[in-house]
């Protein structure tokens, strides 16, 4: 018996420990990368040896049985359903992973999750009480023991549990899904840009890091003003239809309404947001869109445009990549001989007293576990004569926990960024650059937003050979999508660092380039071999004096420049002291 989709049923699920479940859901590396997109139908012309005499077939006939045909819309409903979260919470390892995500990346929602677990604990305590009461034996000499006590039902508590569960399904489950797939997509993007993506994945990563659009929130209904060629190809809409319209034309009958509301809410306040949403192409075919919307602000911090970056992750949905709970849900709905004991806890489906107590105890917090450890079973221990020193001292020993190091430790900076409920962006470093021949940097990602970079020439940041610079300039002039390995120069490091630039033009409705989207990826080899920067040794006896040049020096031009002046200057100041960490640009 699989979990029901109703929140009520979800609150009564036993917790099943499957130690191996995490192994198949957390690891994402070069050898385990999954295809982001779905492979098209395998339609190939018949070879000569496959053609039968008198046959008019050019290809193999279509299969007559479509009962097992995959449906993206159905999978989307499963993905965002209460049943999906129910399967997740029914497994101890998956539940811990979900809990860790909320506690780390969605701290504002942590009280809701704790509230739900506490209610679930209370409901299981009631169930434990009912189980004990229903198993009380009849005593022949006592009439009061003949009648069974009725089961206790707390409808108000159950309603609160249902509402809390609904809130988790509506907000936290989509955030968890998006977070999981961002990690996979980010790795695929980096490997595709650096040319290290395995060959068998390249054809199912078409348009990766090239599907972008730019909207203007100052215009009515925030219409698209520029979009990349891959955006038009992916959505199957032409430039005349796309430009001047809001992106909602990609929505369809099975698009989740909660996803739309979250997008609107974040766009209205100019907040970066990532969302996994079901969209539709012009021919009506659905695809799962991993979408990032980011505000583009000028040197004064005013939002001027919104960047939309999308990735087709339909392949991740189909293969349930990173979501073991979704895989189990799909299997439960497609396998007719589902073993009932998977979720009932025993072969007969009858809950015993031990089952009920186990379900309740699995929700105990640290303090409750300590109370049980110190005082649980005292009456029975003394009654049974278990009073020797060895047994008593063993009950008082602290519990030893041994576990493998998790690979899910969040990046400290990512944790800071996500403390307000915002998931890490799909693209960490990016620039938006004016078309050739201007090629000045207009907007940047937050990671590159440092004084002096806005309105500065892009090629003032690019070092390396004249050949690379010349070829890159020619690509910008021709409007060609280009990927280049360059030396990225900053004011703090004359040698610069090796980075990859993936440049995509965004076009207007007349086909003219309006702006370039430049995705920047660090070179892994350069990161591994780059020597650590160390501060020079300082004499411990050196102390500034009132008449020292350190305190009385004449202000330089850099000291007198405001941030606004700095942002609009064509050259960067020579004295970078105190402005920013060298490793941030």
Reported as a single tens digit per residue, the pLDDT across 199-224 is 767 766 666 788 999 999 999 999 99
Q: What are the φ and ψ backbone dihedral angles of 195, each rounded to 5 degrees?
A: 80, 15
Burial state string for 477-491 with b = 16 or more CB within 10 A and e = fewer than 16: eebebbbbbbbbbbb
Q: Which two tokens stand for residue 156?
A: 């108000």
Q: What separation in angstroms does the CA of 568 have from each of 3, 302, 442, 563? A: 60, 15, 10, 9
Q: Please measure the distance between the N-terminal and C-terminal CA atoms of the chain and give it in whole angstroms.
A: 55
Q: What is the pLDDT of residue 240?
A: 92
Binning pLDDT at 50, 70 and 90, where does residue 42 land? low
Q: What is the mean pLDDT of the chain?
A: 75
Answer yes or no: is pLDDT of 472 > 70: yes
Contact criterion met (CB below 8 Å) for 120 and 45: no
Three-state DSSP at 259 gives helix
- Percent of the chain exceeding pLDDT 90 equals 46
Residues with Cβ within 8 Å of 275's Cβ and at least 6 positions away in sequence, in order, are 174, 178, 259, 262, 263, 291, 293
Q: How far is CA 308 from CA 99, 272, 305, 432, 555, in A?
A: 30, 10, 10, 12, 43
pLDDT at 473: 95
Give residue 364's pLDDT.
Answer: 63
Predicted confidence (pLDDT) at residue 420 exceeds the cutoff of 90? no
Given this model, what pLDDT does residue 34 score?
59
Higher-pLDDT residue of 173, 549? 173
Look at 116-130, 144-158, 412-426, 478-492 and tell me which has the smallest mean pLDDT.
412-426
Q: Structural domains in the chain?
A: 7-37+69-137+150-198+321-396 (no CATH), 200-318 (3.30.450.20), 429-584 (3.30.450.20)
Confidence band (pLDDT; 50, 70, 90) for 369? Answer: low
Higher pLDDT, 57 or 67: 57
pLDDT over 50 (residue 256): yes
pLDDT of 389 strictly over 50 = no
**Tens-place pLDDT, residues 22-37:** 333 334 444 456 556 5
Whole-number pLDDT of residue 347 = 40
User: What is the tens place of the pLDDT at every residue in 452-465?
Assistant: 999 999 999 998 88
SS3 295: strand
Distance separating alpha carbons of residues 79 and 82, to the nearest angstrom = 9
User: Which one, of 38, 52, 535, 103, lies nearest residue 320 by Cα?
Assistant: 38
- Tell me, what's the pLDDT at 567? 38
pLDDT number for residue 528: 61
Give backbone dihedrals phi and psi of 572, rounded to 5 degrees, phi first. Answer: -90, 145
- Name the band, by pLDDT with cuts 50, 70 and 90, for residue 424: low
Contacting residues for 430 by C-beta, under 8 A, at least 6 apart = 444, 445, 448, 517, 518, 519, 520
User: Residue 446 above 70 pLDDT?
Assistant: yes
Helix (H, G, I), strand (E, B) or coil at 115: helix
Q: How confident is the model at residue 362 (pLDDT cuts 50, 70, 90)?
A: low
Q: What is the pTM of this model?
A: 0.71
In this predicted model, which residue has the larger pLDDT, 237 or 18?
237
Task: Answer yes or no: is pLDDT of 440 > 70.
Answer: yes
Could you read off the pLDDT of 399-418 as tens digits, one per residue?
343 333 444 444 444 444 44
């Amino acid at each position: 018996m699989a979990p029901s989709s109703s929140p009520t049923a979800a609150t009564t699920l036993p917790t099943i420990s499957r130690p191996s479940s995490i192994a198949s859901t957390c690891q994402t590396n070069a050898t385990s990368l999954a295809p982001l997109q779905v492979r098209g139908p395998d339609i190939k012309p018949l070879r000569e040896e496959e053609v039968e005499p008198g046959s008019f077939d050019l290809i193999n006939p279509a299969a007559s049985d479509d009962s097992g045909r995959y449906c993206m819309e159905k999978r989307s409903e499963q993905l965002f359903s209460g049943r999906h979260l129910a399967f997740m919470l029914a497994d101890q390892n998956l539940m811990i992973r979900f809990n860790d995500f909320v506690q780390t990346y969605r701290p504002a929602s942590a009280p809701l999750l704790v509230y739900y677990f506490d209610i679930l604990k209370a409901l299981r305590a009631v169930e434990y009480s009912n189980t004990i009461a229903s198993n009380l034996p009849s005593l022949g000499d006592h009439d009061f023991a003949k009648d069974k006590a009725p089961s206790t039902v707390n409808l108000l508590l159950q309603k609160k549990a249902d509402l809390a569960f609904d809130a988790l399904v509506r907000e936290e489950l989509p955030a968890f899904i998006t977070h999981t797939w961002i990690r996979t997509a980010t790795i695929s993007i980096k490997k595709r840009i650096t040319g290290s993506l395995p060959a068998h994945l390249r054809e199912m990563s078409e348009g990766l890091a090239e599907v972008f659009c730019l909207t203007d929130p100052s215009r009515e209904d925030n219409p698209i003003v520029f979009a990349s060629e891959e955006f038009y190809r992916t959505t199957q809409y032409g430039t005349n239809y796309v430009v001047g319209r809001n992106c909602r034309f990609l929505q369809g009958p099975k698009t989740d309404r909660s996803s739309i509301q979250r997008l609107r809410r974040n766009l209205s306040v100019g907040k970066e947001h990532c969302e996994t949403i079901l969209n539709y192409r012009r021919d009506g075919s659905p695809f799962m869109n991993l979408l990032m919307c980011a505000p583009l602000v000028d040197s004064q911090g005013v939002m001027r445009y919104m960047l939309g970056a999308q990735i087709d992750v339909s392949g991740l949905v189909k293969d349930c990549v990173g979501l073991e709970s979704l895989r189990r849900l799909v299997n439960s709905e497609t396998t007719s001989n589902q073993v009932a004991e998977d979720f009932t806890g025993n072969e007969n489906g009858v809950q015993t007293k031990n089952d009920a107590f186990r379900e309740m105890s699995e929700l105990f917090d640290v303090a409750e576990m300590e109370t049980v450890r110190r005082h649980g079973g005292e009456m029975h221990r003394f009654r049974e004569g278990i009073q020797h020193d060895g047994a008593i001292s063993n009950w008082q020993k602290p519990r030893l926990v041994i576990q493998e190091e998790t690979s899910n430790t969040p990046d400290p900076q990512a944790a800071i960024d996500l403390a307000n409920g915002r998931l890490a962006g799909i693209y960490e470093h990016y620039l938006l650059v004016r078309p050739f021949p201007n090629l000045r940097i207009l907007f940047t990602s937050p990671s590159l937003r440092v004084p002096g970079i806005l309105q500065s020439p892009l090629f003032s940041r690019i070092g390396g050979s004249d050949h690379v610079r010349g070829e890159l300039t020619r690509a910008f002039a021709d409007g060609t999508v280009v990927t280049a390995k360059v030396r990225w120069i900053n004011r703090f490091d004359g040698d610069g660092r090796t980075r990859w630039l993936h440049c995509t033009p965004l076009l207007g409705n007349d086909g003219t380039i309006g702006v370039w989207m430049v995705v920047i990826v660090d070179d892994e080899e350069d990161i591994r071999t780059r020597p650590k920067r160390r501060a020079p040794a300082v004499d411990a006896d050196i102390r500034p004096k009132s008449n020292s040049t350190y305190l009385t020096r004449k202000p330089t031009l850099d000291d007198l420049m405001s941030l606004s002046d700095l942002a609009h200057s064509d050259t960067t100041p020579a004295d970078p002291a105190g402005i920013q960490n060298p490793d941030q640009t």
